[in-house]
Structure 1
Amino acid sequence: MDSDRQAQRIGTALVAVALVVAVIGSLGAPLITSVATTLHVPLAAAQWTLTVTLFAGAIAAPVLGRLGSGARRRVTVLNAMVVVVVGGALTALPLPFAFLIAGRALQGLGLGAVALLMSVARTELPEPRATGTIAALSVASTVGIGVGYPLVGLIDQLAGLRAAYAFGLILSAVALVIAWRALPRDAPGPNARLDVPGAILLGIGTLGILLVIAEPALWASPLLGAAVLGLSVLVLAAWSVVELRVPAPLADLRLLGRPAVLRANSAMLVSGIGMYLLFSLLTRYLQTPSGAGYGFALPGVAAGAALIPFSALGFVAGRVVPRLVRAMTERGAFALSACAVAAAAVLLAVGTGSLAVVLVAMTVLGFGVGGVSAVMPRLVLEGVPAPETASVLSINQIVRSVGFSIGSALAGLLLAAATPAGALVPPAGGYVAAALWAPPLLAVSALIVALRR
């Protein structure tokens, strides 16, 4: 009984920490306009309060995963959360804009620690609690969006920008205390060796890829965009060579090359593009100005509240889908979740004139995103040794970040292409055409998962 209570305590603490870092990671999105107006910076510069956090999380994930694969897992998580708290302080204090960007980058380390939390669940918790906890950790980002967006937007509206960031600081401090009290003590053993050259090369290469995806301004000069992309590919190729030669690689590429792991990561990339494409379309459509002749012109707080059903169904999927796996296998559960995302796209395409239908589409999308997130760890960890859990999952998190970034960029590209010359917004048909890109992407991802060697 005591061991059951201890396992429940650890599982609850892991999910609480993951949910907090997800909320902190999402702080940037609802505050971008407020940052621009309050600190008198261009909107493109304010966008970096979100972008830099996502970049930092993607780059930190494999480093933290490797550091935590040895005997210092608890210490690694706690140190990461201390850095997140320091970052929160930089965002809450009335310091110049550069300090805000630095603070948001430090907060990104929390996102990078999620794979490490999954590793703790896999090794410290008995089944089936371990599987359920890992699924909940994976959908925490979905739930965090619905919690963070409306609440942070409301705080900003009532008390101002720094108060909204101070809310994030308080949350990070609470998460640090929870982790300190609940994470199991590190067992004696050798410390993990960090492949520093590999970490640097992976960080530079990943940053370059994400930049060419998330920063359209780079392509104002096609030569510059192509140069950054080409250099990033070369750096990642050099990283692959290093990883295959060092005795303690940042990520075991031979393990990542296993068919099951490769299929899961490929499906994550493709489905991530489709899911975030549709999410971006829905959130933009809800806030389309009334002068466009369509859309619902929801203000910031109301648009944030519209994401609550998205997160609620994401949470439901995180609880339901792991149970469905027993009846329909991981591949069947993934296919069901992919179908939910495709159904959300169809609902948006046929119901653009109805707020109720668009909200239903957002809700169904939440179930699909939550379901994909819940089942993905099981797919990517198939046959992976327990000590490599954090490392493999951290690479999957990078793949997910790249997929989401491509999906967001693709949404902007499709809407821009549909916008007539001289117009500020595209016609409603532009959203319909863009939404119908999602079902084929999800069908391809489900097919990838269904393939067997």
Structure 2
Amino acid sequence: MFIALVVAAVGSLGTPLITRVATTFQVSLDSAQWTLTITLLSGAVATPVLGRLGAGAHRRTTILATLAVVVAGSALTVLPLPFAWLLAGRAAQGVGLGLTALMMSVARDHLPEARSGATIALVSVVSIIGSGVGYPLAGLLAEIGGVRAAYGLGLLVTTVALLAAWRSMPAAPADRSGHVDVVSALVLACGLFLVLFLASQTNLWRHHLGVAMVLAAVAVLLLCVWTFSELRSKTPLVDVRAVRHPAVAGANIAMFVGGIGMYLLLTLITRYAQTPHSAGYGFGLTTFVAGLVLIPFSVLGFTAGKLTPRVRKRIDGPLLLAGSAVVVGGGFVLFAAARSNLAELFVAMGVLGLGVGSFSAAMPGVILAVTPKSETSSAMSFNYVVRSVGYSLGSAIGGLVLAGGTSPGRLFPNDSAFTTAALVGVAAMAVTTLTSLALARRRSRATAVPAQSSAQSSD
């Protein structure tokens, strides 16, 4: 849980520091944005590879080597080096985001079944609310000691995580294969790179639509080629056949669409809080104070994650996903209807945390219920990639809607643009709810058929 929290918090360090990076290194805001984008990119690309390596007997070595890369990247962000080295360091830090699925695999292999489910749920939760921990701390350190001090936090906690893993991480069962098809990994990496690149570059869609469409077609082609090769491979990077299982496919669709909505609301609230009063709305909060808005998100998210395994004993996983999506949709409604004072933003952020926490805690159980133990890290790695793409698209959609609602000659969007973006989020969570309900209905039918068969045989 500590490792999942650390890599999530370090991955989020780029968000509150973008403006300061631009001024410190004298680069444009678009260039500074890459300190966040490149972390997401490297994380999404590394995740399936680490998931396959972690499914083999060399899981401990994989975890320690990955954390060593993250520590080295963290050192690059602290050293007084040019901007390009900062990006390299952030890319190395992003590799650590793939460790979350491996932590779930460790829990499933080495904890009693009664404890492993709750632990996996919490690992999933802390991997999301970690941003709520890193954001305010990074903002405070940046105001006190500048960008290097904020990134120093990442170096400290990743070093502690490496030492903790070295002392306590157990070895995986020896009867597993962790072979990685390098060609397949490269094809997937290129496809994901294009998808996340297009999701992050909103200006490309606005000013060079033709180029964006061509790149999107290439991305789809690469991912189709990768899927075909995985189906033919004896040692696939991701077990695509398992992903096609209705429960797994439905859960990943819900994660993708839900991820779009969840990250969209997180983006809208933090951006609204930092918008200066001169725009006619907003609160003009500093980076640190804006980070405090995330505290209700983290606290209620963690609380929901702790309670969800108990609730799952009474309510089926897909129904929990649907209920969580409704809660997040309620957060969008609150933000759209009431944001005239800071307390209302805190309430909306708390509702978002409640929904995201329960959604994240319920998701692993839905997938792992039909996944063999040996494929835990691979299955959850794929789910993480889906989540990353959803988050990136949520951020991109928010940027496009707000850009479309910005009047010519104005720096900030009109207030109504935030309402429009919130309504888009409501639609996304409605789709997530319907998908989860369809999954729950199919699951109830699947359990009803064996029960009827056993009843008839007894007669």
- TM-score, normalized by the shorter chain, greater than 0.5: yes
Residue identity opposite 2:187 in structure 1: L
Q: Are residues 1:183 and 2:166 paired?
A: no
The alignment of Structure 1 onto Structure 2 pairs a total of residues equal to: 439
- How big is each residue's C-alpha offset from its partner over 1:60-104, in whole Å with a ceiling of 9 and x where there is no partner? 010000001111111111111011011111111111111111111
Please say if residues 308 and 361 of structure 2, whose CA atoms lie closer than 8 Å, have aligned partners that are also in contact: yes
Residue identity opposite 1:312 in structure 2: V
C-alpha separation between the residues in 1 aligned to 2:72 and 2:147?
A: 18
- How big is each residue's C-alpha offset from its partner over 1:248-275, in whole Å with a ceiling of 9 and x where there is no partner? 0101111111111100000001111111
Please say if residues 202 and 400 of structure 2, whose CA atoms lie closer than 8 Å, have aligned partners that are also in contact: no
- How big is each residue's C-alpha offset from its partner over 1:263-299, in whole Å with a ceiling of 9 and x where there is no partner? 0000001111111111111111111110112111111
Q: Are residues 1:56 and 2:36 paired?
A: no
Deviation at 1:158, TM superposition (A): 0.6
Residue identity opposite 2:246 in structure 1: P
Please say if residues 118 and 134 of structure 1, whose CA atoms lie closer than 8 Å, have aligned partners that are also in contact: yes
C-alpha separation between the residues in 2 aligned to 1:161 and 1:291?
A: 27
Residue identity opposite 2:19 in structure 1: T
Partner of 2:303: 316
Q: 1:379 to 1:190 in 2, by over 3 A?
A: closer
Please say if residues 176 and 374 of structure 2, whose CA atoms lie closer than 8 Å, have aligned partners that are also in contact: no
Please say if residues 314 and 371 of structure 1, whose CA atoms lie closer than 8 Å, have aligned partners that are also in contact: yes
Superposed counterparts of 1:12-411, under 5 Å: 15-189=1-175, 191-219=177-205, 220-411=207-398
- 3-state SS, counterpart of residue 38 of structure 2: helix
Please say if residues 92 and 166 of structure 1, whose CA atoms lie closer than 8 Å, have aligned partners that are also in contact: yes
Deviation at 1:30, TM superposition (A): 1.0
- How big is each residue's C-alpha offset from its partner over 1:360-414, in whole Å with a ceiling of 9 and x where there is no partner? 0011111111111111111222311111111111111111011111111111111
Residue identity opposite 2:333 in structure 1: V
Please say if residues 261 and 382 of structure 1, whose CA atoms lie closer than 8 Å, have aligned partners that are also in contact: no
- How big is each residue's C-alpha offset from its partner over 1:225-268, in whole Å with a ceiling of 9 and x where there is no partner? 11111111111111112111221010111111111110000000
Deviation at 1:128, TM superposition (A): 2.3
Please say if residues 70 and 93 of structure 2, whose CA atoms lie closer than 8 Å, have aligned partners that are also in contact: yes
Deviation at 1:191, TM superposition (A): 4.2
Please say if residues 84 and 107 of structure 1, whose CA atoms lie closer than 8 Å, have aligned partners that are also in contact: yes
RMSD between aligned alpha carbons?
1.3
Range with greater deviation from structure 2 (139-148 or 400-409): 139-148
Please say if residues 328 and 351 of structure 2, whose CA atoms lie closer than 8 Å, have aligned partners that are also in contact: yes
Deviation at 1:142, TM superposition (A): 2.9
TM-score when normalising by structure 1: 0.94
Please say if residues 352 and 428 of structure 1, whose CA atoms lie closer than 8 Å, have aligned partners that are also in contact: no
C-alpha separation between the residues in 2 aligned to 1:168 and 1:202?
A: 28
Range with greater deviation from structure 2 (394-403 or 334-343): 334-343
Unaligned runs of 5+ in 2: 443-459
Please say if residues 64 and 166 of structure 2, whose CA atoms lie closer than 8 Å, have aligned partners that are also in contact: yes
- How big is each residue's C-alpha offset from its partner over 1:32-66, in whole Å with a ceiling of 9 and x where there is no partner? 11111111111111111111011111110100000
Deviation at 1:338, TM superposition (A): 1.1
Q: 1:160 to 1:265 in 2, by over 3 A?
A: same
- 3-state SS, counterpart of residue 281 of structure 2: coil
Please say if residues 19 and 29 of structure 2, whose CA atoms lie closer than 8 Å, have aligned partners that are also in contact: yes
Q: 1:217 to 1:350 in 2, by over 3 A?
A: closer
C-alpha separation between the residues in 2 aligned to 1:395 and 1:298?
A: 37
Residue identity opposite 1:96 in structure 2: P
Range with greater deviation from structure 2 (180-189 or 386-395): 180-189
Residue identity opposite 2:223 in structure 1: L
Unaligned runs of 5+ in 1: 1-14
- 3-state SS, counterpart of residue 437 of structure 1: helix
Range with greater deviation from structure 2 (50-59 or 413-422): 413-422
Residue identity opposite 1:292 in structure 2: A
Residue identity opposite 2:61 in structure 1: V
Q: Are residues 1:439 and 2:426 paired?
A: yes
- How big is each residue's C-alpha offset from its partner over 1:322-366, in whole Å with a ceiling of 9 and x where there is no partner? 211111111222122112111111111121212211210011111
Please say if residues 325 and 332 of structure 1, whose CA atoms lie closer than 8 Å, have aligned partners that are also in contact: no
Please say if residues 198 and 242 of structure 1, whose CA atoms lie closer than 8 Å, have aligned partners that are also in contact: yes
C-alpha separation between the residues in 2 aligned to 1:235 and 1:130?
A: 36
- 3-state SS, counterpart of residue 44 of structure 1: helix
Range with greater deviation from structure 2 (307-316 or 441-450): 441-450
C-alpha separation between the residues in 1 aligned to 2:172 and 2:256?
A: 34
Please say if residues 142 and 366 of structure 1, whose CA atoms lie closer than 8 Å, have aligned partners that are also in contact: no
Deviation at 1:308, TM superposition (A): 1.0
Residue identity opposite 2:107 in structure 1: A
C-alpha separation between the residues in 1 aligned to 2:173 and 2:403?
A: 54
Please say if residues 317 and 370 of structure 1, whose CA atoms lie closer than 8 Å, have aligned partners that are also in contact: yes
Range with greater deviation from structure 2 (53-62 or 222-231): 222-231
Residue identity opposite 1:354 in structure 2: N
C-alpha separation between the residues in 2 aligned to 1:41 and 1:138?
A: 35
Deviation at 1:428, TM superposition (A): 2.0
Deviation at 1:424, TM superposition (A): 2.1
Partner of 1:12: none
- 3-state SS, counterpart of residue 238 of structure 1: helix
Deviation at 1:320, TM superposition (A): 1.1
Deviation at 1:224, TM superposition (A): 1.4
Partner of 2:454: none
The percentage of aligned residue pairs carrying the same residue is 50
